[in-house]
Structure 1
Amino acid sequence: MSGVLDRTLGILELLSRHGEGLELASLADQLNMPRSAAHRLLADLIRTGYVRQTRELGPYMLTTKLVSLGLSFLSHSGIVDFSQPLLDRLAEISGELVRLGVVDGERLTWVARAQGARQGLRYDPDMGSDARLSCSSSGLAWMAALADEEAIALASRQGLGRPEEYGPNAPRTLQEMLALVHAARARGYSVAVDTYTPGLSAMAAAVQLAGQPPIGVITIAGPTARLTEARMQALAPDLLAIAGQMAAASGTSPFFQRSAQARQAGGAAAARRPIYAE
C-alpha cells in the first residue's frame, strides 16, 4: 500500500510543477513507473476529482481540488488571520512584495503575502511552494537562527539550488552558503541579491519567540534596481519589528499552538533518553 501511496503522491507533486499538463508516457518516464500503473493511478485520481484529462489520450492536469484543500486548511489554521494585517503594514511601508513562510518540520512554505508595489509585475509564482533553503532569503534567515550543524543538515537533505536554476549568485557549496548564513546571523536578518532569482533582491527575518526555534520567516522582495543595499538597511528596523510582533501574536493560531506543543513534547522526550558515556 505504501508503494501505491508514494506513487500517487509523486504524480500529484509532478503535475503541480506542470501547469500545462503531462502526457502519460512523459509522466510515467519521469517517475520511473510502468505506464500501466501510472494509467491506473491517474484513473483513480480522475475519479476522485484531483486530476482531469483535457481530451481523450491528451495530457493530464491537476484540478483545483488540491488548491481548495490547502486554502481550507489555511482558513482554519489561524495563520492568515493574525498575520495578514502585519504583512499588509510591512508591504505599505516597503512598497514591495512581503511574504510569510511557515516552518513545518524540515520545510519552509510560503503561505501568505501582501503586495506593496504600485506598478510593475505583481505575480507571485512561489505561493504555496517550499523555499530553496540554500539560496532564498527565507531559507537563509531560518538557518541563521539554527546551529550550523542543523543548517547544514537541512540544506544537504534538500540539496543546493544550482545557479542555472536559480540566480547567478546562488551558493555553489555548503561553505558559500554558510558564509551567507553567518552574515545573516550577525546582522539579524538575511540578504539575498540575485541568488534566488536573477534581478531580484530580498531580505528576511525569522519569526521566533525568545529561546524558541523559529516558527516562520517574513520576507521583503523586489527588483534589485529598486531594493538596493541601502534601501534594505533602511527597512531592516521595520522588518524586525513586524517579525517580533508576529511572533508575539502567533499564540492565537491553532497551527502554531500545535507546533509549539509538538516541539515541547519532542524536547521532553529527548531529555528522558539515557545518555551513555563513552
Structure 2
Amino acid sequence: MKVVNSLIENCFAILEVLATEAKSMRLSDIADRLQLQRSGAHRVLTTLVGLGWVEQDEATDFYRLSLKLPAMGYRFMQAASLPDVLQPVLDKVARESRELVRLAALASDNLTTIAHAQGAQGSLICRSRTFPVLPLHVSASGKVWLSTLSREAALKRALESGLGKPGSYGPREIKTVEEFMKELDRTAKRGYGIALEEAEEAVGAVAAAVVTASGQTVGTLAIVAPAFRLAEKRLDELGEKALAGAAELALLWPLRSVASPTTVDGDTAA
C-alpha cells in the first residue's frame, strides 16, 4: 500500500507543478523540482499522457497540462453553482469600487483565482496579469492569508512561494525575510493586505480574507487597480470595501450542498 500511495502522491504532485507553472516543462525540470528519480517521473508522465491529463510536444518532448483538468474544475464550479451564488457579491464590490475584483479559493496551501468582476470602464480598466496560482509573498491576497497563520508557518509558505529568490515580478517585490515579516505585522494590524507594484509593474491591489463563522479562512477577495490610482486614502477606502465584501461572501461559503439532497424515492430529505 505504501508504494501505491507514493505513486498517487507523485501523480498529483506532477499535476500540481504543471498547473502552477502553466507552461511546457522538461522531464528533468519536473523531476528536479519534485526531487523524483527521472525514470519514475517519466513513468508517471507517460501514464498521464495516455489518460489525457498531460500533453507532450512531439517536437520538443516537453510536457504541459492538458485542458482536461481545468475543464473538470469548471464543470464542478458550475454544478456547485459557485458563480451563481458568489458572483452577485463580486459584481456589487466591483460596481462600488469601480475596479477589477477577483476571488481566490484556498486549497492545498495555495490560492487560486476562481471568479472575477470588472467595475472599471473605458480607459480606466486595469489589464493586470492573471496568475493561475497566486504568488503568496507578492500578492495582497497571499499576504492577508499568511497574516492569519503563525509566523513560522507563514514564513515557510512564503519561502516556498519564492521569497528571496529571483523572480519575474514587479519592481517593489519584497525580497528579504526581515521586511516580509514586518509586512505581515502591518497586514495583520490593518486587517487587509496591500501590494503595490510587487506582483507586476504599475499594478496594485488590496485584499481581505474570507473567514467563515467557524474561523476557517476559505479564500480571499482582492480589488485590483492601476498603482497610480492607489493613494493612501484610496487604499483605505478599497480596504474597507474588500473587508465588507469578504464578510458577505463568508455568509455564503462554504455552500451547504451542491444540490438539494434527495431520498431514493426522489422526495426531498429532511
Would the TM-score normalized by the shorter structure come out above 0.5?
yes
Tell me, yes or no, if the aligned pair for 1:206 and 1:218 is still in contact at 8 Å.
yes
Structure 1 unaligned residues grouped into runs of 5+: 256-278
Pairwise mapping of residues 45-64 of structure 1 onto structure 2 (< 5 A)? 45-55=48-58, 58-64=61-67
CA distance in 2, matches of 1:184, 1:150: 16
Pairwise mapping of residues 182-201 of structure 1 onto structure 2 (< 5 A)? 182-201=185-204
Amino acid at match of 1:95: R
Structure 2 unaligned residues grouped into runs of 5+: 259-270
Deviation at 1:47, TM superposition (A): 2.0
Match for residue 215 of structure 1? 218
CA distance in 2, matches of 1:7, 1:221: 35
Higher mean Cα deviation, 156-165 or 65-74? 156-165
Cα distance change on mapping 1:79 and 1:174 into 2, 3 Å:
farther
Q: Deviations over 1:22-70 (max 9, x none)?
A: 4556656666666655554333222211123444675443321011121
CA distance in 1, matches of 2:165, 2:251: 36
Tell me, yes or no, if the aligned pair for 2:100 and 2:126 is still in contact at 8 Å.
no
Tell me, yes or no, if the aligned pair for 1:184 and 1:190 is still in contact at 8 Å.
yes
RMSD: 3.2
Tell me, yes or no, if the aligned pair for 2:164 and 2:177 is still in contact at 8 Å.
no
SS at match of 1:252: coil
Amino acid at match of 1:125: T
Deviation at 1:92, TM superposition (A): 2.0
Cα distance change on mapping 1:170 and 1:65 into 2, 3 Å:
same
Tell me, yes or no, if the aligned pair for 1:77 and 1:253 is still in contact at 8 Å.
no
Amino acid at match of 1:126: F
Pairwise mapping of residues 9-88 of structure 1 onto structure 2 (< 5 A)? 9-16=12-19, 21-22=24-25, 37-55=40-58, 58-88=61-91
Q: Deviations over 1:86-140 (max 9, x none)?
A: 111112222322111223353333222222333456465314x2x3322211121
Aligned partner (choices 230, 240, 245) of residue 242 of structure 1:
245
CA distance in 2, matches of 1:209, 1:229: 29
Match for residue 143 of structure 1? 146
Deviation at 1:202, TM superposition (A): 0.8
CA distance in 2, matches of 1:86, 1:3: 41
CA distance in 2, matches of 1:152, 1:56: 40
Match for residue 183 of structure 2? 180
Identical positions, percent: 33
